A = this chain, B = another copy of it.
Amino acid sequence: MTEPLFVIPLWADLLAVGLGGVQGALFASGFVGRQRLDLLGVTLIGIVMGMGGGLIRDLLLNVTPTTLQSNWYLLTAVGASLVGMLLAGVFRRLNAVIVALDAVVIGLFGAFGTAKALALGLPFVPAVFVGVCSAVGGGILRDVILGLPVAIMHVGSLYAVAAGVGCVVLAGSAALGAPIAVAAIACVVVTTVIRLLAVIFDISLPEQRALHRRKVAIETSAIPIIRPSDG
């Protein structure tokens, strides 16, 4: 079998890292009162959100982390964190923009994860798994480090499912012979659209059995647009 020479373009990779870093810093800046983070804390969360997905992907694939092969990834993540922190006030008024960006970031990390896994010869199901872990892994790390309930365990709006469907589309298209770049774009589009539709129409997964009242509260904690001060 010929090694499929799939290389994620550096600009695309850095775009995902940068958007993730901005997201992370916005999230971390949302803590007020006693839980307030200092400058370093906000930057660390930006790094975790910008680079966590790629690190988890490369750990699962047992390859040397791409994000540590060049100075640019960390510099981008730190720079994006500072931008996110400074512009937190502005961004917060652009709620729709933040949600849309977040959806695109999930799509990008899912696409890169699945594509890299397929390029390394993983079968369909684990390739999709690696993609989903790349997409949601940064958020899980963020929540664990901040001591928050892990959002995707409770969130109602099809967060991980959006990533999963996008990764399945990528892996399926690739299996049917589509060029990987086209399949990756399809993945990002599908993930973004599902996620946005889920947010707009407030769709959630079926409960195990009973009604789930906590959804709204947790959903807002996933992207803390408005978080009343407790201090």
Q: Which of A51-105 contact B (CB under 8 A)?
A: 55, 58-65, 67-71, 73-75, 85
Interface 1/0s, chain A 199-220, versus B by CB < 8 A? Answer: 0000011111010111000000
- Residues of B within 8 Å of A37, CB to CB, are 153-154, 208
Interface 1/0s, chain A 34-46, versus B by CB < 8 A? Answer: 1111111110100
Contact (A29, B74) CB under 8 Å given A64-B62, A152-B44, A154-B37: no
Interface 1/0s, chain A 148-163, versus B by CB < 8 A? Answer: 1110111010001100
Identical chains in the assembly: 3
Contact (A124, B71) CB under 8 Å given A40-B160, A59-B59: yes
- Residues of B within 8 Å of A74, CB to CB, are 125-126, 129
Is A140 at the interface (CB under 8 A from chain B)? Answer: yes
Contact (A36, B207) CB under 8 Å given A62-B64, A145-B153: yes
Separation in Å of the A11 CB from the closest CB of chain B?
18
Is A208 within 8 A of B144, CB to CB? no
Kindly identify which residue among B41, B68, B148 contacts A154, using a CB–CB cutoff of 8 Å. B41
A34: nearest chain-B partner, CB-CB: B214
Tally A residues with Cβ within 8 Å of B: 61
Q: Which of A18-33 contact B (CB under 8 A)?
A: 29
Separation in Å of the A67 CB from the closest CB of chain B?
8
Interface 1/0s, chain A 112-151, versus B by CB < 8 A? Answer: 0000010000111110011000000000100011111110
**Interface residues in chain A, defined as those with a beta carbon under 8 Å from any beta carbon in chain B:** 29, 34-42, 44, 55, 58-65, 67-71, 73-75, 85, 117, 122-126, 129-130, 140, 144-150, 152-154, 156, 160-161, 204-208, 210, 212-214, 231
Sample of 17 A–B contacts (CB below 8 Å): A36-B210, A36-B212, A36-B214, A37-B153, A38-B204, A38-B206, A39-B205, A40-B161, A55-B60, A67-B126, A68-B117, A68-B130, A69-B123, A70-B123, A146-B150, A147-B149, A147-B150
